[in-house]
Amino acid sequence: MGVKDALSSNKREIKDVFYLIALQGLNYIVPLLVLPYLMKVLGAEKFGYIGFSLAVAQYLMLLVDFGFNLSATKRIALAKDNQQELNKIFSATVYAKMGLLLLSFALLFVVSLVPEFAVYRTTMLVMFLVVMGQAGLFVFLFQGLGQIKWVSIFNGIAKVSVLPLTFWLVKSPDDYLWAAFLQGMVAIVAAVISWGMIAKNKWVKFVSVSWSNVKEELAESFPIFLSTAATSIYTACFVLILGYFATPQEVGQYSAVDRIMRALCYMALIPVLQVFYPHIASLAQQDKGLALKRVGYLFGVVVACMVLIGCCMVFASPYAITFLGDDYNHTDGLFAIMAAVPLFVGLGGVAGQLVLLAIGDSSYKNYFRNVYIVAGIVAISSVLVLSYFYGMYGTAFALLLTEITVCVLMVSPVRKIYKS
């Protein structure tokens, strides 16, 4: 099969990728218009309440998602022609998510009792709306049915309709709870719209399932949850450890370049993974060779995009530094180091999700988890040493070393799969 045939047979997936890239851009732009306003009106202290509470909410969302966006997505993609099985998988997954939502609220309550976190208590409770909305968005269903573009549309509608209220309701530092509430309402509105879409199309319905069905979904997702948790932990640890060894200014400079790199990288990579993951998983059940060939084309596309992003980071960094202001005058070295990161993130992402998880058997799911455990060890040990001696540049090198490790470990078994 040539490139022309591959493009012809994947028209819908390619169209969805471009939909998602455009919508991801919208989802990044709207918050970027609101955040500077919040920083100015709320002041550093009250904006810190929002930032801390959102960080807690993001960890709770990790627990509630529990890896279902990969495991349940694959099972739904394979069962989408069997309505009875589809209803069972959907219902068991939702019941599991609701149980995890209750557990996450209990954990939030415990965290709020810590004396040092008392000032954040009310904000954290209000921000829990974000976790509730994420739990009810059912991304795994839309992704498994090949309708993932709707999730970005729902998020875009919610952000465009809710976040502008910030300019009306948030006028002073005393309005910080309104700011937290509106952040949560974005997630709630997106979830409600998604329920309407599911009901209108009658894709699934809730059915009675046994505890064993719920446990099965949890067991399927557990290795992926561990790997996702490991990823989040090692991603967060870079800034935390740098903050211990360096000045707040260096932390801010590192965080700014890291956010620019990840925004560009994920805006190109995530739509490809979300759209093609269920398609590749389903195709692999019929013709594994054809599925691997399709992934081969995706490797080429993703590598080209990541090389382009890396080049943009190097050559456009002077303009970015000018735009960011004098506080970022010494970040050109960070841009140069992090410019190499997208290539390894892209290769590792395609190899891990589209080959090991979508095409590989259950043993590869465990391998996928173990890769991120190893990555966590590499990340923490390297960032402790390099940040101590080289500050923010050492942290950037530690990040690059970690992503190279993930990429090499993910790609290694892929070569064996292709050979076999």
C-alpha span between 378 and 234 (Å, rounded) = 9
Residue 358 is encoded by which pair of tokens?
């979508």
Task: Choose between 130 and 258: higher pLDDT.
Answer: 130
pLDDT tens digit sequence for 310-366: 999 888 888 877 765 666 677 888 899 999 999 999 998 888 888 888 777 777 777
The pLDDT score that the predictor gives to residue 128 is 93
Give the position of tokens 């045939």: 5
Dihedral of CA atoms 375, 301, 65, 55 in degrees, nearest 10, equals 70
Apex 347 CA angle, 342 and 352, nearest 5:
125
Residue 152 is encoded by which pair of tokens?
């970005």
Would the pLDDT of 379 be above 70?
A: yes
C-alpha span between 310 and 304 (Å, rounded) = 10
C-alpha span between 35 and 32 (Å, rounded) = 5
How far, in Å, are 32, 40, 164, 359 from residue 35 at the CA level? 5, 9, 11, 40
Model confidence at 408, in pLDDT bands (50, 70, 90)?
very high
CB 127 within 8 A of CB 53: yes
Burial of 253 (0-12, 13-18, 19+ CB in 10 A): buried
Would the pLDDT of 57 be above 90?
A: no
pLDDT tens digit sequence for 61-115: 888 888 887 778 878 888 877 888 888 988 899 999 999 999 999 999 988 887 8
How far, in Å, are 78, 138, 327 from residue 283 at the CA level? 9, 23, 50
- Going by the DSSP 8-state scheme, the letter that residue 175 receives in this structure is G
Rounded to the nearest integer, the mean pLDDT of the chain is 80
Would the pLDDT of 279 be above 50?
A: yes
Model confidence at 15, in pLDDT bands (50, 70, 90)?
low
pLDDT tens digit sequence for 256-269: 778 778 878 877 78
Rounded mean pLDDT, 124-145: 88
Model confidence at 51, in pLDDT bands (50, 70, 90)?
low
The pLDDT score that the predictor gives to residue 32 is 55
Would the pLDDT of 224 be above 90?
A: no
Shortest CA distance to 97 belongs to which of 121, 117, 68?
A: 68
Model confidence at 235, in pLDDT bands (50, 70, 90)?
low
pLDDT > 70 in the chain, percent: 82
Burial of 1 (0-12, 13-18, 19+ CB in 10 A): exposed
pTM of the model: 0.63
Q: Which residues of 333-372 are buried (b: 16+ CB within 10 A; e: fewer)?
A: ebbbbbbbbbbbbbbbbbbbbbbbbbbbeeebbebbbebb
pLDDT tens digit sequence for 284-317: 788 877 888 888 888 888 899 999 999 998 888 8
CB atoms closer than 10 angstroms to residue 303: 15
pLDDT tens digit sequence for 161-187: 877 788 888 888 888 899 889 988 988
Model confidence at 36, in pLDDT bands (50, 70, 90)?
low
The pLDDT score that the predictor gives to residue 7 is 46
Least confident interval from 217-221, 270-274, 412-416: 270-274
CB 142 within 8 A of CB 150: yes
pLDDT tens digit sequence for 20-32: 555 555 555 565 5
Task: Choose between 179 and 59: higher pLDDT.
Answer: 179
The pLDDT score that the predictor gives to residue 132 is 93
